[in-house]
Chains A and B, each alone.
Chain A
């Protein structure tokens, strides 16, 4: 670790970043906070209503539903993408021509604009013009994501797995590559089984990258907007209306500033809280292995 010298003048170097992010973050947030405590009769006249919007929000069934849908979605996503990503990283070659082929082709879905991801799957899942939809229909399966909530969920989940698992793969792969050969050699000498090697060497050494992967996937899946919006628009009905979609509908669609602002704050706080929980749990597990030096 670098010995840092104390230097208050370093603030000048940080100032540009601080100002820009403050401008981008603090001012809008202040506006949001402002709105969350006020109501309007129109023509920009606001009056104070205190905690009313928050009370309404807590009792709002619409909010509860969106929240539960979101939790369910993020849990399923994490449960699929993390193990799958690790499994694929374990199976990837460490050297040879296979390495760049794997890395390049796996990076591709990560660089597609999110609306195009949505469009790709919107088309892919259609029974008339999409490969997936058409194949399922010709197999006799009744699949229609615009009308069947289950089909809609499955399509969105498949889309997210397709879109983001590569991030977990790449991070896990980087973590795996940093394990020195000597550990594998020692395990061979100790007669360890493949499972033991994974459990006692690979998994512990990947903790750092896995923490990042879990945090990133959790946060991004909790904030998901564009892809489901493009595929199903939140439907059929409300079945795929996740929290962001619900919020934007309220804020920009209906211009319900008060309730939208209240929901924004609660939304943000929920993410912060859950991220903090994840971070603490995983780095406590990780703390154990980083104390005591290399």
Chain B
């Protein structure tokens, strides 16, 4: 079918259309947005972006989001690595049940946890901190990380472990020097997904923060409910939230297909 390429082409066009519209809007002044309807800016302006970079109430949102997402990725990967190794190499009392229980947490609606988390973290004095959001996101990121890493680890034959032990490696040294390089792409995929799910999550991030750790997603929704909507700035803020994601995709582009195919999927 020579016209087969048309299908993904149309789909990609459909995907890029709203994003183009957002970028379009972010480069216009508010006046132009509300008064005219144009397919590209008549008066190209970067003012909207300037606002975000200069107004602390805007850019702090990005910084906060980056902070708790990074903390979460680090925690998730570090905690998941030994656990995934245990699931992959050993059988122990309750292992299958534990694994399944971990997965059920991915199925829990965040809405269910909104209130309890709010009360929990308030009571231990972690309300409105980055670590609170990072920990809260562990609820669904840790099971996912263990799940993905276990899949990759099962693809490495046990003989490699045994050879290393016979060669005199201690377990920590074996793990760091031999095992981890072998599953590097698996760790990449895991980090990618943890980043993705933590970066995009709104409900818990908004519930657990007030001022100090307020993520960009909460700031944007706050703007929407305020009167006198500043569409231009809103659009610019939106475009900027896409940037980290786009960068991550760009850096892992060679691993996406490989990672998907090799791992759990």
Contacts and interface: CB of A to CB of B under 8 A. Distances in A.
Are chains A and B touching in the complex at the 8 Å CB cutoff? yes
Interface of A: 1-8, 10-11, 13-14, 16-18, 20-21, 23-25, 27-29, 31-32, 87-88, 91-93, 98-116, 119-124, 128-132, 134, 162, 165-166, 169-171, 173-175, 177-178, 208-209, 212, 219, 222-223, 225-226, 230, 243-245, 247-248, 251-252, 257, 260-261, 264-265, 267-268, 271-272, 275
Interface residues of B, number: 95
28 contacts: A4-B89, A6-B91, A7-B92, A8-B92, A13-B83, A17-B83, A20-B138, A24-B135, A25-B113, A28-B113, A32-B115, A103-B256, A103-B257, A106-B15, A113-B216, A120-B19, A129-B37, A130-B21, A131-B17, A165-B11, A171-B260, A223-B110, A225-B202, A244-B111, A244-B203, A251-B115, A260-B115, A268-B109
Contacts, number: 279
Interface stretch (B52-60, B100-108, B178-186): B100-108
Contact of B110 (A18, A209, A225): A225
Interface in B73-102: 75, 79-80, 82-83, 85-93, 95, 98, 102
B210 interface: no
Contacts of A115: 202, 217, 220-221
Contacts of A268: 107-109, 112
Contact of A91 (B4, B104, B244, B245): B4
A113 B261 contact: no
A226 B34 contact: no
A212 B148 CA distance: 12
8 residue pairs, one from A and one from B, having the closest CB atoms: A111-B245, A28-B116, A174-B260, A91-B7, A10-B90, A13-B86, A13-B82, A244-B111
Contacts of B6: 91
B8 to A, nearest CB: 5
A20 B78 CA distance: 12
Contacts of A27: 116, 120
Given A31-B120, A247-B111, A88 B7 contact: yes
A31 B242 contact: no
Q: Is the interface of A mostly helix, strand, loop or mixed?
A: helix
Contacts of A105: 12, 15-16
Interface string B124-164: 00000000000110110011001000000010011000000
Contacts of B242: 108, 111-112, 116
Contact of A267 (B8, B105, B111): B111
A174 B89 CA distance: 26
B63 interface: no
A219 B105 CA distance: 11
A111 B83 contact: no
A114 B204 CA distance: 12
B96 to A, nearest CB: 11
Nearest to A213: B265
Given A7-B90, A110-B196, A115-B220, 17 more contacts: A14-B83, A20-B135, A24-B139, A28-B116, A29-B116, A92-B8, A102-B8, A105-B15, A108-B16, A108-B245, A128-B37, A130-B21, A173-B257, A174-B260, A252-B115, A267-B111, A272-B104
Contact of A21 (B4, B92, B102, B154): B102
Contact of B15 (A92, A101, A162): A162
**Which of B105, B116, B199 gathers most chain A CB within 10 Å?**
B116
Contact of B109 (A24, A130, A170, A271): A271
A20 B135 CA distance: 8
Contact of B18 (A21, A93, A124, A222): A124
Contacts of B217: 113-116, 226
A99 B257 CA distance: 9
